[in-house]
Amino acid sequence: MEETIVRAAVRDDIPTIVSLWRVLQETNALHDPYLTPGPGSEDWFREYLKARIDGEIGIFVAVCAGEVVGYTFGQIVQRPTLAAGECGYIADLCVRPDSRGHGTGRRLYERLRIWFIDNDVHNIEVQVVRANPASQAFWRKMGFGEFLKTLRTEISINQGNA
């Protein structure tokens, strides 16, 4: 097995990152149809990356045999009402299906963790799809534990809540 390295993402990586983002969205939608990406979401994500890849976000790719096989990105979010003031938020982490199970996800997370520490951020949050057991297991292995639960309901005008 060739060595995998993790490096900062550059503009040329954007098309591959977007294709991995699609894999991530499809995985989430498979586990929970509510998470099905809307029309135009891929274009939105591409533009989002183009606007921020040069510094505003921490974005890293895993490269094996010259190919990008995974990516992660996170950002610093202000939490003005908390004593901590801000936190690190991990938006995405995805490893190509044929490259999983070899420590690539862990390496990507470790690199992003260092980026947060370098930016003086010491609390990190990630949202995990409840119905995705692989993701749950992975983040717990990375040392994360539950601290909030997001609840959702579908509402209609005739519905009571008794």
Ligand X SMILES: CC(C)(COP(=O)(O)OP(=O)(O)OC[C@H]1O[C@@H](n2cnc3c(N)ncnc32)[C@H](O)[C@@H]1OP(=O)(O)O)[C@@H](O)C(=O)NCCC(=O)NCCS
Q: Which residues are near ligand X by CB under 6 A?
A: 24, 27, 92-95, 100-106, 132, 134-135, 137-138, 141
Beta bridge partners of 87: 77
- CA geometry: angle at 68 spanning 52 and 61, to 5°? 40
Q: Is the CB of residue 56 less than 8 Å from the CB of residue 20?
A: no
Residue 161 CB, nearest approach to ligand X (Å): 32
Nearby residues of 9 by Cβ (< 8 Å), 6 or more positions away:
17, 53, 59, 60, 61, 71, 73
Separation CA 85–CA 137 (nearest Å): 29
Which CB atom, from 23 or from 76, has the smaller least distance to ligand X?
Answer: 23
Residue 132 CB, nearest approach to ligand X (Å): 5
Which CB atom, from 54 or from 142, has the smaller least distance to ligand X?
Answer: 142
Residue 123 CB, nearest approach to ligand X (Å): 18
Residue 112 CB, nearest approach to ligand X (Å): 11
Which CB atom, from 1 or from 83, has the smaller least distance to ligand X?
Answer: 1
